Amino acid sequence: MSSKKFWTLLLTVAATLVLGVLALNFMPGEKQIERQLTRQYDTADPQFRRSLGVLLGPPIIEGNQVEALLNGDQIFPAMLEAIRGAKKTITLETYIYWSESIGTEFSEALAERARAGVKVHVMLDFMGSMKMDNAQVDKMKAAGVQVQRYHKPVWWKLARMNNRTHRKLLIVDGTVGFTGGVGIADQWRGNAQDEDHWRDSHFRVEGPVVGQMQAVFNDNWTKATGVVLDGPAYFPPLQAKGTMPAQMFSSSPTGGSESMHLMYLMAITSARETIDLSASYFVPDELTVRTLIAAAKRGVKVRLITPGHIIDSDLVRAASRDRWPELLAAGVQVSEYQPTMYHVKTLIVDKLLVSVGSTNFDNRSFSINDEANLNVLDAGFATQMTDVFDADWKLAKPVTPHALAKRPWWEHVSTWFASLFEAQL
């Protein structure tokens, strides 16, 4: 074989391998929901609660207490207090973890507990933690912290590079859990007081549902390490701590990728009066758009808060606007948060169901990433979260059909271009 033919063959093989890896990463892992759900009950119907438990997996269980934490000034002290008070186990899974001041505080607290004999397990997404200093990871490992990088690039896992863990979980001693939208980075510090400090919500949880949160962490830990975390140190007997019925469920392309999508479709379809959606990244698929429009047309008041001009992804903002004209035409109210980046991920339906966690309202969360959400069915908690939503709404600028149509031509072009990538956003 001549040298020219050899190199041609080699380049052909390399190109075929690259294209094959890309195809495996970007093709859907499971059959997606294609048809709009039939409305058979509303959120107040006991069947809604039964269906959530049966179709999403874990049952809704009684006796929980969920506390809303707003912005870094409330979120980080609560999480660090729980870590520093750990006696037996700490399990932490997160997407963003960077080597900044808050990252250092968490690393030092985790390392100190590990040196004290606490079993500490940390699952970091490889892509989301790329800005983390390796020296910081080494210090944690030296102290006894078990650190895993989710889907770190290795040749036998290249087909899963596009699948990230976006879950945000902290469970301490199997009794106290945290979930929500926050990442471990300095832009989440403060109180959303300026462009450098983001608006976000996180939640402290006690009660039997914390066992479900631990099980969700265990899911990815077992996949990554082959080790099952079990026993009373991780799953102690849990007594009632409040009166809230709750359910923690997860989704993943490796099994049950449609669970999160299904939950949103069920909640929107069952809505009777109100839907309040805080969406830091809002790029819904066709089916979800149709379901929102159907809710608005049957008289449900639908309100949506998204980030405004301060956003960490202009591509997402442009793609989001692709579906706004038809939503606005159906009566959906859309407002853009003005003071800073809006990273909240909360769904409130009929002042009864509150769903919080890591999930964005986009195709990446619905079918590509590993996600986890906490559903709470409690009128008191829902009223409290509606008050938080109303406060955010006052700081958001309403989007009108006229203003949307009068955008500069280049914004229309950017929206069209970004919409081509909706399946990956």
Cα–Cα distance, 245 to 374 (Å, whole number): 11
Give SS3 for 192.
coil
30-424 has which CATH code? Answer: 3.30.870.10
pLDDT in tens, 335-391: 999 999 999 999 999 999 999 998 887 777 777 788 899 999 999 999 999 999 999
Q: So what's the pLDDT on residue 134?
A: 87
In contact, 108 and 219? CB cutoff 8 Å: no
- Confidence category of residue 27, pLDDT binned at 50, 70, 90: very low
Average pLDDT score over residue span 11-28: 47
Q: So what's the pLDDT on residue 257?
A: 63
Q: So what's the pLDDT on residue 265?
A: 94
Where exactly are the structural domains of the chain?
30-424
Average pLDDT score over residue span 10-26: 47
Q: Which two tokens stand for residue 248?
A: 């923690």
Quick one: which H or E segment has residue 260? helix 259-270
Q: So what's the pLDDT on residue 31?
A: 54
Give SS3 for 233.
coil
pLDDT at residue 253 tops 60 = yes
- Confidence category of residue 12, pLDDT binned at 50, 70, 90: low
% of the chain surpassing 90 pLDDT: 63
Integer CA distances (angstroms), 388 to 24, 183, 203, in order = 41, 20, 13
Cα–Cα distance, 64 to 204 (Å, whole number): 11
- Confidence category of residue 181, pLDDT binned at 50, 70, 90: very high
Which of 166, 82, 357 has the alpha carbon at shortest distance from 246? 357
Which of 107, 100, 163 has the alpha carbon at shortest distance from 368? 163
Q: Which two tokens stand for residue 203?
A: 């939640």
Average pLDDT score over residue span 112-126: 95
- Confidence category of residue 258, pLDDT binned at 50, 70, 90: confident
Q: So what's the pLDDT on residue 25?
A: 45
Running DSSP on this structure, what letter comes out for residue 289? H
pLDDT at residue 293 tops 50 = yes
Q: What is the 3-state secondary structure (H, E, C) of 362-399?
A: EHHHHHHCEEEEEEEECHHHHHHHHHHHHHHHHCEEEC
- Confidence category of residue 410, pLDDT binned at 50, 70, 90: low
Running DSSP on this structure, what letter comes out for residue 169? E
- Confidence category of residue 1, pLDDT binned at 50, 70, 90: low
What's the whole-number average pLDDT of the chain? 86
Q: Indicate the angle between helix axes 259-270 and 286-297, nearest 10 degrees.
A: 10
pLDDT at residue 159 tops 50 = no
